[in-house]
Structure 1
Amino acid sequence: MQRRSILRGLAAGAIAGPSAALLGNTPAQAATSYYVATTEQVKNRVLVFHKNGAFSDANIHWSFSPGGGSWANLSDIKIRSTAAQGWIALVVASGGKAGIINIGSEKHTELNDLKWQATPGGNPHAIERIPGNGSVVVASSAGHLTVYAPSSVSNLASLAKVQTVNLAGAHGVLWDPTYKLLWAIGKGTVRGYAVEGSGRGTRIRHYGAAVSLGSSNLGHDLQPDYSNTQRMLCTATDGVYEISTAGGSFSKRKISSETRVKAYVRHSSGEAISVRADNTGARTWGSPTVRFSASADRTRGGAEFYKARIWTPDFQ
């Protein structure tokens, strides 16, 4: 894709169709219950629970347990859908690893269930997959984005490293299907990258799409607002922001001055789900509680949650 094509697309401001249902065949706008995927770092597991039940072992809907070592401190989980494999889980760990698991009939998955893994290093914090292209991008807080591209889109195991892009403090990545941009959050900025090429020739390029957070403000989480396809949500050192993408004119609005928010996402119903670091214990950056703005918070004794996501493959 050439630069002029990208800029033309941004100017046109085309709006994508409504997102798919969050659960089953019910329209997303009507969903009143849903599952939440979390990264829990004490026992180091991805744990998925229904938001209306206790976050107990008996209520685990799905889990991934990679063990420790380079898989220590799981830091992101995203659910995506592929034509060949159906639903997959994208995971990264601050210990240095990234991987993909097929989500099938098995309720509890482990390291040997990985279909692909790599070592981007540099404290990986987030992961995303480019739909159709099949490439995977990992954000590492040491200051870079790593691009892995497949020789065959339908073969997860064919992913191989093709590019490293510098981005200071890289903490989050999210695909925007409306503007065909990969957004990444780092120190002082949320930056949009165009995806060019295919197969092992895939590369990402920054052509100017960006939102400033302020030079001293470190971005943390970057997530969709499922109640508005023209909006993203991000957390940073000084609070929580909404980022408007309407019409291709990118801007931010601060919605909270609460600090230490490590995860923030909004369901189609308008309910916000978040994790705020409690600044105590061995993992000061985590919390045993996942918060819900319109229903009861959920606390799991002895846990340290870092990220919370809505259990859906939708990008918006």
Structure 2
Amino acid sequence: MERRTLLRGLALGAAAAPAAALFGPGTAMAATNYYVATAEQVKNKVLVWNKNKGFSDANVHWSFSPGSGGWTNLSDVKIRSTSAQGWIALMVASGGKAGIVDIGSKKHTGLGDLKWSATPGGNPHAIERIPGNGSVVVASSNGHLTLYAPSSVGNLGSLAKVQTISLAGAHGVLWDPTYSLLWAIGKGVIKGYAVEGSRRGTRLKHYGAAVSIGSGNLGHDLQPDYSNKYRLLATATHGVYEINTAGGSFSARRISSQTRVKAYVRHSSGEAVSVRADNTGARTWGSPTVRFSASPDRTRAGAEFYKARIWTPNFE
């Protein structure tokens, strides 16, 4: 079996099932067996594991290892799907870099496998791709979003910087296909941006869609709730929040006052996956443990996880 097919099949948690079952319409990840992508900053790798297995080198399902320099301290990874390339991995690092890798026949990838890279600078913390349009947005915590647009939607290498938008404390970006909005979280607010134009003429426009999370509350992460397409999940200085988008009336509700939560996502089964900074060591903002609300936590000795994601290209 071609590894590209294998990687996708395992992501759905049913590697032994027939291909039709794996890729047929409406197929969902098994509630008890799914994969988690992590940004680990000590060895500085994106590492993917089956959440039911130990987080050991032998159990790594897929990885990206960019080295150091501008790629120091990987801070986000997202899995997306394109018509031309199939599954891709989007990544940013606090050292200043952003890039995209085609998830193909290789289990372990590095800088030589990048199909596109850029230097948005300003401590990049998150990255997202706009489906159909092909543009990519990077959030940098020093206060801006950077939009890269392609000259050809199917050509990752044709992405070029076309717009910079100010957003204080920009930490997270997430595409919402239900409302065709790019959500971005910053200091005290989550803003929704419409996407206008195409190719290099693409621009982001804020028409007023916004959710307050309180002044002085710096946003950290913004992710889907895969159990409810009308909810987003956000973490910030003062806790974890559910963002209700049903009916186009956007509001925030704090579901936990736990601090230092750097990543939080909910699987379609309802299980939450999160990382909480342990406030110790050289990277006080990370933790060696990825937490699961309905399964055993996974700890990797010596690691510093910053982000955890469900291994799926789905937006919701």
For the residue of structure 1 that corresponds to 2:70, the secondary structure is: helix
Counterpart in the other structure of 1:297: 297
Q: Distance in 2 between matches of 1:283 and 1:63?
A: 21
Q: How far 1:32 moved relative to its partner?
A: 2.6
Compute the TM-score of the two structures, normalised by the length of structure 2.
0.92
Instruction: Say whether residues 1:210 and 2:210 are aligned partners.
Output: yes
Aligned counterpart, 2:88: 88
Provide the residue aligned with 1:53 in structure 2. 53
User: CA separation in 1, counterparts of 2:38 and 2:247?
Assistant: 33
Cα offset, 1:215, TM superposition: 1.1
Where 1:234 maps in the other structure, the secondary structure is strand
| Corresponding letter in the other structure for 1:157 | G
C-alpha deviation, 1:30, in angstroms? 5.0
Matched, 1:198 2:193: no
User: Is this contact kept in 1: 2:262–2:277, CA < 8 A?
Assistant: yes
Change (3 A) 1:160 1:102: same
Q: C-alpha distance in 2, partners of 1:83/1:314?
A: 14
Task: Give, in whole Å, the separation in 1 of the partners of 2:218 and 2:28.
Answer: 32
Determine the C-alpha separation between the residues in 2 that align with 1:144 and 1:115.
Answer: 24
CA contact (8 A) 1:22 1:314 kept: no
Check the 8 A contact 2:12/2:30 in 1, yes or no: no
Aligned to 1:4: none
Q: Name the residue aligned to 2:244.
A: 244
Contact 1:29–1:227 (Cα < 8 Å) also in 2: no
In 2, distance between residues paired with 1:58 and 1:156? 31
Amino acid of the structure 1 residue aligned with 2:130 = I
Which residue of 1 is the match for residue 257 of structure 2?
Answer: 257
Number of matched residues? Answer: 296
Equivalent residues in 2 for 1:120-269, closer than 5 Å:
120-269=120-269
AA in 2 matched with 1:91:
M
CA offsets 1:267-291 (integer angstroms, 9 cap, x no match): 0000000000000000000000000
Three-state SS of the structure 2 residue aligned to 1:216 is coil
Distance 1:90 1:184 in 2: 16
In the aligned structure 1, how far is the partner of 2:193 from the partner of 2:150? 19
Alpha-carbon shift at residue 114 of structure 1 (Å) = 0.3
Separation of aligned partners in 2, 1:241 and 1:150: 34
TM-superposed CA distance for 1:33, in Å, is 1.0
Q: Is 1:35 the equivalent of 2:35?
A: yes
SS class of match (1:70): helix
CA–CA distance in 1 between the matches of 2:62 and 2:253?
35
| Maintained 8 Å contact 1:264/1:275 | yes
Structure 1 unpaired stretches of 5+: 1-20
Asked if structure 2 preserves the Cα contact closer than 8 Å seen for 1:88 and 1:103, the reply is yes
CA distance in structure 2 between the partners assigned to 1:134 and 1:232 by the alignment: 22
Q: What is the one-letter code of the residue matched to 2:278? A: D
Tell me which amino acid in the other structure corresponds to 2:175: W
Structure 2 alignment gaps of length 5 or more: 1-10, 14-21
The two structures, once aligned, show a CA RMSD in angstroms of 1.0
Once the 2 structures are TM-superposed, how far is the Cα of residue 22 of structure 1 from its aligned partner?
4.4
**TM-score scaled by structure 1?**
0.92
Structure showing greater relative contact order (alpha-carbon pairs closer than 8 Å, 6 or more residues apart): 1
Structure 2 partner of 1:9: none
The offset of 1:27, in angstroms, is 3.0
Partners of 1:78 and 1:237 in 2: CA distance: 23
- Distance 1:150-1:56 versus aligned 2 partners, 3 A rule: same
Inter-partner Cα distance in structure 1 for 2:271 and 2:114: 32
Residue equivalent to 1:15: none
One-letter amino acid of the structure 2 residue matched with residue 254 of structure 1: R
Cα deviation for residue 28 of structure 1 reads 2.2
